[in-house]
């Protein structure tokens, strides 16, 4: 079965309200194994709502409409659905009594305009309202169906779980789940990653319907994400298929993958340090504490994180971290900072950043110049150049995750 979502409200088009309802509904549809291929937002205009519904019904079996069921003049979803169904609207005495009862229970006088919420397109079946005042609607359109839900998130979610999903599954006549898993990568471009994964994409295309799908999601300063999606008769079979597909992708891209779903780069580093029984100390210059901030946001970071020194001024690098006198935006200075903080804070591993975030040059070097120092036990400290560009904030953010990634790769190489 194919379903799609139509969100009604001019405020959505103006950017005054973020459409979280459509995102949540799509997640529920996927969990139920119902394909959702389109989402539409439309303003409070009768002709345009009717058009949106007609288009949706022309390509999907079910349409979930959210918003426009309130009592005010711009709440016209009922009228639009009635026009699509080709039927009049009638007031339902039972619904009217239910709306009146809600107001009475709250000790409030119902305004006459609220009676509109008892109006139904002829042939529609109401969905009982258990939180607010506007009932939902189940509206048959030939062999297809339109579900109309209030835009208030709590009311909408309760109706989806109680009424809409069970009805959809009954109409679908099959049980399935759609499950996704996201692989997070760092160190390659979207096009570069696409080239690496291309053989697997070709194989999945050749496999035909029912095969896992792969999507590329660029996420700015958090790298490129690969979303793997599987539709299967049960959650266990979907998870098994995702495991197999993840193994195929990892075999192609290797250590470019640093995490799964919500796992961050600092999560990956922490897991490696814990597995080796090591602790970490950080010295930061141009990143200004961003590395430490990301680390301490992790639950359990105290098991492996000793602390940080934000050595922003050159004299602090020299006096506190024992960096030799001279320029401080160099690979040697970064290596010395990493070793200095490791010793100062009694950690097994030290990392450091030094560079130029901008907007002005430093030591004759342009903004975007950066170095990450690494000090591991049993090896002399060294440093690598970082590839940084963009605004001052972007340089700091990219420097942070790139430094953590360098440490991650060094720890992996030890095995």
Domain boundaries, the chain: 2-172, 177-260, 265-414
Task: Extract the tokens encoding 215.
Answer: 């999507």
Task: Extract the tokens encoding 144.
Answer: 């297809």
Going by C-alpha positions, the residue among 134, 127, 133 that lies closest to residue 159 is 127
- Full-prediction pTM beyond 0.85? no
What confidence score (pLDDT) does residue 415 get? 64
Q: What is the side-by-side order of every strand in the sheet holding 224-232? A: 213-218, 224-232, 177-185, 257-260
35 CB neighbour count, 10 Å cutoff: 16
The SS3 call for residue 107 is: coil
Task: Extract the tokens encoding 33.
Answer: 């194994």
Contact 292, 283 (CB under 8 A): no
Task: Extract the tokens encoding 316.
Answer: 């602090």
In angstroms, the Cα distances linking 74 to 8, 199, 245, 249 are 10, 52, 48, 50
N residues, the chain? 415
What gap in Å lies between CA 291 and CA 44, rounded to an integer? 46
What confidence score (pLDDT) does residue 184 get? 97
Place of tokens 């804070």: 345
Contact 354, 340 (CB under 8 A): no
What gap in Å lies between CA 218 and CA 15, rounded to an integer? 22
Contact 383, 370 (CB under 8 A): no
138 CB neighbour count, 10 Å cutoff: 16
Contact 329, 345 (CB under 8 A): no
In angstroms, the Cα distances linking 152 to 6, 7, 17, 70, 131 are 15, 12, 12, 10, 10
Contact 231, 238 (CB under 8 A): yes
Superfamily of domain 265-414: CinA-like (3.90.950.20)
Task: Extract the tokens encoding 362.
Answer: 């430093």
What confidence score (pLDDT) does residue 329 get? 98
What gap in Å lies between CA 306 and CA 292, rounded to an integer? 10
Task: Extract the tokens encoding 292.
Answer: 């430490």
CATH topology of domain 177-260: Alpha-Beta Plaits (3.30.70)
Give the side-chain half-sphere CA count within 13 A for 340: 23
What gap in Å lies between CA 51 and CA 390, rounded to an integer? 43
What gap in Å lies between CA 232 and CA 179, rounded to an integer? 8
What confidence score (pLDDT) does residue 21 get? 97
What confidence score (pLDDT) does residue 37 get? 94
DSSP state string for 301-340:
GGGTEEEEEE--SHHHHHHHH-PPSS-SSSHHHHHHHHHH
132 CB neighbour count, 10 Å cutoff: 17
CATH 3.40.190.10 fits 2-172, yes or no: no
Task: Extract the tokens encoding 391.
Answer: 């605004």
CA angle 130, 89, 150 (to 5 degrees): 30
pLDDT tens for the 415 residues of the chain, in order: 999 999 999 999 999 999 999 999 999 999 899 999 999 999 999 999 999 999 999 999 999 999 999 999 999 999 999 999 999 999 999 999 999 998 998 899 899 999 999 999 999 999 999 998 899 999 999 999 999 999 999 999 999 999 999 999 999 887 788 999 999 999 999 999 999 999 999 999 999 988 999 999 987 788 999 999 999 999 999 999 999 999 999 999 999 999 999 999 999 999 999 999 999 999 999 999 999 999 999 999 999 999 999 999 999 999 999 999 999 999 999 999 999 999 999 999 999 999 999 999 999 999 999 999 999 999 999 999 998 999 999 999 999 999 999 999 999 998 6
| Beta-bridge partners for 385 | 371
In angstroms, the Cα distances linking 362 to 47, 320, 325, 390 are 60, 21, 16, 16
């Amino acid at each position: 079965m194919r379903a799609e979502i139509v969100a009604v409200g001019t405020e959505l088009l103006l950017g005054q309200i973020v459409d979280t309802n459509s995102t949540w509904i799509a997640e529920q549809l996927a969990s139920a194994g119902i394909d959702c291929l389109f989402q539409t937002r439309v303003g409070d205009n009768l002709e345009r709502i009717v058009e949106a519904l007609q288009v949706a019904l022309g390509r999907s079996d079910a349409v979930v409409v959210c918003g426009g069921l309130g009592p005010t003049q711009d709440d016209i979803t009922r009228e639009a659905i009635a026009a699509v169904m080709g039927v009049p609207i009638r007031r339902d005495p039972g619904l009217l009594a239910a709306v009146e009862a809600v107001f009475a229970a709250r000790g409030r006088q119902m305004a006459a305009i609220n009676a509109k919420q008892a109006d139904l397109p002829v042939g529609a079946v109401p969905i009982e309202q258990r939180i607010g005042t506007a009932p939902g609607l189940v509206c048959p359109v030939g062999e297809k169906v339109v579900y109309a839900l209030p835009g208030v998130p709590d009311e909408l979610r309760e109706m989806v779980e109680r009424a809409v999903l069970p009805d959809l599954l009954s109409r679908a006549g099959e049980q399935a789940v759609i499950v996704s898993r996201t692989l997070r990568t760092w160190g390659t471009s979207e096009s570069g990653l696409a080239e690496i994964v291309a053989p697997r994409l070709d194989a999945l295309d050749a496999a035909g319907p029912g095969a896992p799908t792969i999507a590329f999601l660029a996420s700015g300063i958090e790298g490129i994400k690969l979303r793997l999606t599987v539709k299967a008769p049960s959650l266990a079979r979907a998870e098994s298929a995702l495991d197999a597909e993840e193994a195929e992708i990892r075999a192609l891209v290797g250590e470019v993958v640093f995490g799964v779903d919500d796992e961050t780069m600092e999560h990956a580093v922490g897991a490696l340090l814990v597995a080796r029984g090591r602790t970490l100390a950080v010295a930061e210059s141009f990143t200004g504490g961003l590395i430490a901030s990301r680390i301490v946001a992790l639950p359990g970071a105290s098991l492996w994180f000793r602390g940080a020194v934000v050595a922003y001024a050159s004299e602090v690098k020299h006096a506190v971290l024992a960096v030799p006198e001279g320029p401080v935006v160099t690979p040697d200075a970064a290596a010395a900072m990493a070793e200095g903080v490791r010793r100062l804070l009694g950690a097994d591993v030290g990392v450091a950043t030094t560079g130029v975030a901008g907007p002005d040059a430093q030591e004759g070097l342009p903004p975007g110049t950066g170095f990450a120092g690494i000090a591991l036990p049993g090896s002399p400290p060294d440093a690598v150049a970082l590839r940084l560009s963009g605004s001052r904030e972007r340089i700091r953010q990219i420097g942070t995750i790139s430094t953590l990634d360098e440490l991650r790769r060094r720890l992996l190489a030890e095995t």
